[in-house]
Amino acid sequence: MRGGPARVLETLRRADGRSCSGETLSRAEGVSRAQVWKHIETLRALGYDIEACAGEGYRLTRTPDRLYPEEILAGLATRWLAREIHWFDETDSTNRVALELARSGAPHGTTVIAESQTAGRGRLGRSFFSPPHLNLYTSIVLRPTLTTASAPTWILAAATACAETIDGYCAPGEVEIKWPNDVLLRGSKTSGILMELAAEATQVSFLVLGIGINLNVDRGDLPDEFRAHATSLSSHLHAPVDRIAFASSLYLQLEGVLDACAERGFDAVRTRFERFFRMRGREVRVLEIDGGETAGRAVGIDPDGALRIRTAAGREKRVIAGDVTLAKGNA
Amino acid sequence: MRGGPARVLETLRRADGRSCSGETLSRAEGVSRAQVWKHIETLRALGYDIEACAGEGYRLTRTPDRLYPEEILAGLATRWLAREIHWFDETDSTNRVALELARSGAPHGTTVIAESQTAGRGRLGRSFFSPPHLNLYTSIVLRPTLTTASAPTWILAAATACAETIDGYCAPGEVEIKWPNDVLLRGSKTSGILMELAAEATQVSFLVLGIGINLNVDRGDLPDEFRAHATSLSSHLHAPVDRIAFASSLYLQLEGVLDACAERGFDAVRTRFERFFRMRGREVRVLEIDGGETAGRAVGIDPDGALRIRTAAGREKRVIAGDVTLAKGNA
List pLDDT tens digits, range A75-126: 899 999 999 999 999 999 999 999 999 999 999 999 999 999 988 877 666 7
Cα distances (angstroms) measured from residue B317 to each of A152, B286, B288, B297, B301: 22, 11, 12, 10, 11
Q: Of the candidates B149, B194, B200, which has its C-beta nearest A148's C-beta? A: B149
Tell me the nearest-neighbour CA distance from B113 into chain A, angstroms: 20
* Contact check, Cβ <8 Å, A147/B321: yes
- Whether complex ipTM tops 0.85: no
Residue A39: strand, helix, or coil: helix
* Contact check, Cβ <8 Å, A200/B194: yes
Q: pLDDT band at B124, cuts 50/70/90?
A: low
Is the CB of residue A190 less than 8 Å from the CB of residue A165?
Answer: no
- On the question of pLDDT at B194 being above 90, the answer is yes
Is the CB of residue B117 less than 8 Å from the CB of residue B133?
Answer: no
- Quickly list H helices, chain B: 3-14, 22-29, 33-45, 69-74, 94-103, 151-167, 224-227, 233-237, 243-264, 270-274
Cα Rg of chain A, angstroms: 22
Average pLDDT score over chain A? 90
Give dist(CA A205, CA A145) in Å, integer. Answer: 8
Stretch(es) of chain A classified as CATH 2.30.30.100: 283-326
Site from B200, B287, B288, B302 to mutate, A interface, most A CB atoms within 10 angstroms: B200
* Contact check, Cβ <8 Å, B148/A199: yes
Q: Mutual orientation of helices B22-29 and B3-14 as an angle, nearest 10°?
A: 130
Is the CB of residue B269 less than 8 Å from the CB of residue B157?
Answer: yes
Choose between A281 and B78: higher pLDDT: B78
User: Could you tell me if B100 lies within 8 Å of chain A, comparing CB atoms?
Assistant: no
AA identity, residue A22: G
Give dist(CA B311, CA B285) in Å, integer. Answer: 10
Choose between A321 and B10: higher pLDDT: B10
Tell me the nearest-neighbour CA distance from B121 into chain A, angstroms: 11
Q: Please report how many Cα atoms fall inside a 13 Å half-sphere around the Cα of residue B176, on the Cβ side.
A: 16
Class of domain A283-326: mainly beta
- B residues 279-298 near A, CB within 8 Å? 289-290
* Contact check, Cβ <8 Å, B201/A155: yes
User: Could you tell me if A207 lies within 8 Å of chain B, comparing CB atoms?
Assistant: no
Average pLDDT score over chain B? 90
Class of domain A69-274: alpha beta
Residue B103: strand, helix, or coil: helix
CATH annotation of A3-62: 1.10.10.10
pLDDT for the residue numbered A331: 40
> Which DSSP state fits B251?
H
User: Could you tell me if B212 lies within 8 Å of chain A, comparing CB atoms?
Assistant: no
Q: Most distant CA pair in chain B: distance in Å?
A: 82
Cα distances (angstroms) measured from residue A321 to each of A308, B153, B235, B249: 12, 17, 47, 35
- A residues 143-202 near B, CB within 8 Å? 145, 147-149, 151-152, 155, 180-181, 194-202
Produce one character per residue of B280-308: b if its CB has 16 or more CB atoms within 10 Å, e if not. Answer: eeebbebebbeeeebebbbbebeebbbbb
Which pTM value belongs to this model?
A: 0.82
